[in-house]
Structure 1
Amino acid sequence: MLRTQFEEDLKNLHEQFYKMGREVSIAINNSVKAFIDHDKELALEVIEHDADINNYEVSLEKKSFEMIALQQPVTTDLRTLVTVLKASSDLERMGDHAVSIAKSTIRVKGSKRVLEIEEDIEQMAGMVTEMVDDVLDAYVITDEKKAKDVAKSDTAVNQQFSSIYKKCIDAMKENPETVVVGADYLQVAGYLERIGDYVTNICEWIVYLKTGKISELNSNRTEEI
């Protein structure tokens, strides 16, 4: 009976984590859309909705600790709970970065815009949200290979960030009127780049869940715990 309840609780944890991830993906999408469209109402929605994402993390953390204390799980079950704890923390930070992008929208004045850079930021956001969606799919079926593939795609996100950085610097040098908006572009691209890093963290936790090894993906360091 206890085991059946434990398995039901684990299933609920998985479902909650996936729902949290979907909310984070929507928040990232909406924050960038708000920034590109100068849509302050949508930006405010992202900021207000962040409380829901935070509540998910608190709920997942509380339930995970409760299950560890009461059930004293070992091996795979314990790895599952550790993964939920760590990966939900990464999701929460990703939600925080979506809020930061939304706040950039509210701060931005009627500055001179550089449409080419905005298109690049939009493309970068698409790459990042695809990573988020793919890592959630990998999590649901504990797909180690898919997780590693998702982590590899962070390289393209980093390259896009470097490209945007260069274009922003060039634009600011050529036209001082773009300095204010250029600084905002750099900030938003930086937040997206960090979100990609957090997705890579979740990929590492999926590999841990499957193998029991903590691996730093895109690096040679691997240690057993």
Structure 2
Amino acid sequence: MRKQFDQELNELHIQFTNMGVLVSEALTKSVKAFINHDVTLAQTVIDDDQIINKKEVELEEACAKIIALQQPVVTDLRRVVSVMKACSDWERMGDHASSIAKTTITVKGKKRISHVEALLADMAKVVIEMANRVITAYTLADIEEARAIAELDERVDNYLLQITQFTIAEMKADPKVVFNGSGYITVASDVERAADYITNICERIIYLKTGEIVELN
């Protein structure tokens, strides 16, 4: 029975990791689409969001099945609950990637602000790095790495502030960029929220390893 249970837990973590990879790819594609004005790539991200949603449902069902049939002890229960909560964070990040893609389609052809797009690209690199690192940290239950990843969230917040302030100034100076300016702020907010959800997963890693509920934000 224990061997079967361990196999089910291992499969759960594999599925969770696969979902994280899908979300990281969605974020990468959505920002690339926005920066390159690539409507076709943006539509791909929107279409693929249903795959991420399906993964979340499958993971939640697998977690519920393990809890109901295996009646795990406290340590194992933490592992299952951590996956159940963290997969919701992945799904929400996928939603933000889809939101960025939708904004790409909306602002296509409007006047752009190259400096803001450069800042957005740099901001997204930090968040995608966070996403990729947190997958490994979760797999290894590495709480020190989890804390280090969460600290990057402050850099992301600073990018959001810079982008918002610069964009508002440009919108005041040139009415032609007002429409796109709103889009920039929306995209930057989506990227920032993705970083927040990654920080949530970092908190899950610490809970998984220690049983302690911490706030890293």
Q: TM-score range by the shorter chain?
A: over 0.9
Question: Quick one: which amino acid aligns to residue 40 of structure 1?
Answer: V
Asked if structure 1 preserves the Cα contact closer than 8 Å seen for 2:19 and 2:90, the reply is yes
1:182 aligned residue? 181
User: 1-side partners of 2:11 and 2:138: how far apart?
Assistant: 14
Q: Give, in angstroms, the shift of residue 109 of structure 1.
A: 3.7
2:10: which partner in 1? 11
The AA in structure 1 aligned to 2:115 is: E
Matched residue, 1:146:
145
Deviation string for 1:64-110 (max 9, x for gaps)? 00000111111210000000000000000000000000000111142
**SS at the partner of 1:215?**
coil
Q: TM-score, normalised by structure 2?
A: 0.98
Question: Which residue is 2:80 aligned to?
Answer: 81
Shift of 1:112: 1.0
Residue identity matched to 2:32: K
Question: How far apart, in 1, do the equivalents of 2:108 and 2:134 lie?
Answer: 35
The CA deviation at 1:24 is 0.2
2:17, 2:201 → 1: CA distance? Answer: 12
Give the whole-Å Cα distance in 2 for the aligned partners of 1:195 and 1:87: 13
User: 1 CA distance for matches of 2:75 and 2:159?
Assistant: 37
Distance 1:160 1:123 in 2: 8
Identity %: 51
In the other structure, the counterpart of 2:34 is 35
In structure 2, stretches of 5+ residues that fail to align are none
Deviations 1:145-181 (A, max 9, x none): 1001111110000001101111101111111111011
The question of whether the paired residues in 1 share the 8 Å contact of 2:203 and 2:213 is answered with: yes
Q: What letter matches 2:34 in structure 1?
A: F
Give TM-score, length-normalised by structure 1: 0.95
Deviations 1:202-224 (A, max 9, x none): 00000000110110114xxxxxx
Size of the alignment, in residue pairs? Answer: 217
Question: Which whole-Å deviations, capped at 9, do the CAs of 1:120-145 have from their partners, x for residues lacking one?
Answer: 00111111000001111100000011
CA contact (8 A) 2:39 2:108 kept: no
Tell me how far apart the structure 2 counterparts of residues 8 and 138 of structure 1 sit (CA, whole Å): 20
CA shift, 1:115, in A, is 0.4
Q: Secondary structure in 1 aligned to 2:94?
A: helix
Distance 1:122 1:136 in 2: 21
- Residue number in structure 1 paired with 2:57: 58
Letter in 1 for 2:120: I
| 8 Å contact from structure 2 (residues 37, 108) kept in 1 | no
Superposed structure 1 runs of 4+ greater than 2 Å apart: none
Give the deviation of 1:42 after TM superposition: 0.4
Q: What are the ranges of 5 or more consecutive residues in structure 1 without an aligned counterpart?
A: 219-225
Q: Secondary structure at the match of 2:33?
A: helix
**Which residue matches 1:170?**
169
> In structure 2, the residue corresponding to 1:110 is in which secondary structure?
coil
**Counterpart for residue 222 of structure 1:** none
Over aligned residue pairs, what C-alpha RMSD do you find?
Answer: 0.7
Task: Compute the displacement of 1:27 (Å).
Answer: 0.2
Partner of 2:109, secondary structure, is coil
